[in-house]
């Protein structure tokens, strides 16, 4: 059967046109313009999943290291608690009043023996006296009390509650995680501070003094501080409570005075500035981890 020459020519022309159109589409394709291309999407800010933190500054000698440390906290907008006695506040009243301008709160503390095995009546008198000494100087109500080793017992809780003091401290109970307890029948809450879990430094609070006195180094403490801000595991939440909080502590005659320790603190603050939510005392104490009957205190 003879082919029609005109049809053959037409078929060839159509083939060339089809190949040309496909090639143009492949090599010259541009995506359609987005009608919203001129609009910039708003930046989404993701809230930090790190712990809440508050610094505790212990001082009983002089104000040199204390002032140095508070100055560095103030530069970084980090609140703190000044763990000082009524006598120290009396002796350094003007300096203390200046420091309180920088988001500091007095943690009124007892000098000498801790609040263990001390009768209710004696504790109440001691607490009332140190509260009065602090408030005469500062003109502010005392919100939290403590004693050496952060110690307290049920008598401390009862006395503080009767004196209208919102918070007391307690020894660490949950490793580096700080824990807030409320107690049935009491308005006063308990702050159980961060502890060091490592056996070499065990039973000390998460404090430069705990390392310094046990031949530890700033690097040892930096490693534990860094570990302390890592997210809690589900097992830790079940065992220790759901709220991730930390209370690093400095004896400011070490942390604010001895250069290697001072530098360690500054590095920690600067390297973790987006990982820790530094908050004031009332915010820190807002959400209790556990509610206890008083016989468990």
Residue-wise pLDDT for 140-162, tens only, equals 999 999 999 999 999 999 999 99
pLDDT digits (tens, 9 = 90+) for 7-29: 333 343 334 433 343 343 433 43
Do 126 and 155 touch, CB atoms closer than 8 A?
A: no
C-alpha Rg value of the chain to the nearest Å: 31
Give 259-294 as a DSSP string.
HHHHHHHHHHHHHTTTT-EE--HHHHTSS-SEEE-G
What the block records as the tokens of 199 is 């056996």
Q: List, in order, residues 6 or more apart from 22 with CB less than 8 Å away.
A: none
pTM of the model: 0.83
What the block records as the tokens of 133 is 């000494």
Give 61-75 as a DSSP string.
S-SHHHHHHHHHHHH
Measure the CA angle with vertex 285, ends 181 and 197; round to 5°: 60
Q: Where are the domains of the chain?
A: 52-290
pLDDT digits (tens, 9 = 90+) for 122-144: 999 999 999 999 999 999 999 99
Give the confidence band of 201 by pLDDT, cuts at 50, 70, 90.
Answer: confident
CATH assignment, 52-290 = 3.20.20.370
For residue 204, pLDDT beyond 90: no
Q: List, in order, residues 6 or more apart from 19 with CB less than 8 Å away.
A: none
Do 106 and 142 touch, CB atoms closer than 8 A?
A: yes
What the block records as the tokens of 4 is 């029609």
Give the confidence band of 90 by pLDDT, cuts at 50, 70, 90.
Answer: very high
Torsion angle, alpha carbons of 73, 77, 78, 81, to 10 = 80
């Amino acid at each position: 059967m003879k082919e029609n020459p005109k049809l053959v020519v037409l078929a060839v022309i159509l083939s060339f046109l089809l190949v040309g159109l496909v090639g143009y589409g492949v090599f010259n394709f541009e995506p359609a313009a987005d009608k919203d291309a001129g609009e910039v999407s708003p930046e989404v800010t993701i809230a930090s999943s790190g712990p809440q933190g508050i610094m505790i500054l212990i001082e009983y000698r002089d104000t040199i290291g204390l002032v140095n440390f508070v100055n560095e906290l103030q530069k970084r907008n980090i609140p703190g608690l000044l763990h000082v006695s009524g006598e120290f506040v009396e002796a350094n009243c003007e300096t203390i009043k200046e420091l309180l301008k920088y988001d500091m709160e007095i943690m009124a503390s007892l000098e000498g023996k801790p609040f263990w095995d001390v009768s209710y009546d004696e504790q109440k008198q001691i607490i009332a006296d140190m509260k009065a000494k602090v408030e005469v100087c500062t003109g502010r109500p005392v919100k939290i009390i403590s004693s050496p080793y952060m110690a307290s017992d049920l008598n401390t809780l009862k006395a503080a509650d009767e004196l209208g003091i919102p918070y007391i401290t307690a020894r660490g109970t949950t490793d580096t995680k700080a824990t807030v307890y409320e107690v049935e029948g009491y308005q006063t809450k308990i702050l159980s501070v961060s502890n060091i879990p490592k056996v070499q430094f065990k039973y000390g609070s998460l404090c430069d003094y705990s390392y310094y006195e046990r031949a530890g180094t700033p690097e040892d403490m930096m490693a534990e501080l860094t570990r302390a801000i890592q997210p809690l595991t589900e097992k830790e939440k079940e065992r220790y409570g759901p709220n991730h909080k930390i209370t690093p502590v400095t004896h400011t005659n070490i942390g604010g005075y001895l250069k290697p320790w001072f530098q360690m603190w500054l590095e920690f603050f600067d390297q973790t500035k987006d990982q820790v939510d530094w908050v004031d005392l009332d915010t820190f104490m807002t959400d209790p981890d556990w509610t206890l009957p008083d016989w468990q205190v």
